[in-house]
């Protein structure tokens, strides 16, 4: 490393050699001609464009998501119908149970409330106990 530094200082020290270094530097890295490069690139693109073939679209693509969405909608509709049927059956059972409970309550009330029985017709002809009302002594 030290040897290279020394060589560099020797080269940099002489003015004659500096001019030589600049010439070497210029020869190694010429400035690119961007305008010519751009024109060459455009020409190659134009050549490529001539060989391009238009792609014609085929039949419309049927995505499985659309089919799946339709199937899911049918499934959801069937589930709603089943749920409504189950709900109707539950409501009907509830109404029947309420009606049965009401009948049982009426029957229990009939049995629980004592009612006066009608006096039978034959009872009117029966003799009265205890004699007359104005009674004698």
Give the pLDDT confidence of 117-133 residue by residue, as tens digits. Answer: 888 888 878 888 865 55
- Assess if residue 44 is contained within a domain: no
Domain that holds residue 84: 65-113
- Assess if residue 70 is contained within a domain: yes
Q: Do 11 and 21 touch, CB atoms closer than 8 A?
A: yes
| Region class of 131: left (phi > 0), else alpha (psi between -120 and 50), else beta | left
Number of domains in the chain: 1
- Assess if residue 45 is contained within a domain: no
- Assess if residue 51 is contained within a domain: no
Q: What is d(CA 137, CA 128) in angstroms, rounded to the nearest whole number?
A: 18
Sequence-distant (6+) residues with CB within 8 A of 7 are none
pLDDT tens digit sequence for 53-108: 888 888 887 788 989 999 999 999 999 999 999 999 999 999 999 999 999 999 99
Is the pLDDT reported for residue 13 higher than 80?
A: no
- Assess if residue 34 is contained within a domain: no
DSSP string of 82-99, one letter each residue: HHHHHHHHHHHHHHHHHH
- Assess if residue 121 is contained within a domain: no
Q: What is d(CA 59, CA 50) in angstroms, rounded to the nearest whole number?
A: 27
Q: Do 25 and 31 touch, CB atoms closer than 8 A?
A: no
Give the three-class secondary structure for 10.
Answer: helix
- Assess if residue 109 is contained within a domain: yes
């Amino acid at each position: 490393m030290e040897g290279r530094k020394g060589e560099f200082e020797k080269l940099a020290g002489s003015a004659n050699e500096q001019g030589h270094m600049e010439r070497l530097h210029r020869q190694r890295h010429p400035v690119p001609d961007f305008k010519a490069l751009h024109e060459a690139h455009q020409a190659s693109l134009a050549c490529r464009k001539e060989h391009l073939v238009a792609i014609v679209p085929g039949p419309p693509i049927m995505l499985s998501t659309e089919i799946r969405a339709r199937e899911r909608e049918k499934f959801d509709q069937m589930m709603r119908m089943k749920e409504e049927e189950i709900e109707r059956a539950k409501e009907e059972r509830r109404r029947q149970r309420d009606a049965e409970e009401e009948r049982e309550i009426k029957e229990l009330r009939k049995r629980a409330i004592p009612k006066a029985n009608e006096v039978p017709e034959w009872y009117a002809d029966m003799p009265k106990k205890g004699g007359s009302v104005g009674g004698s002594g």
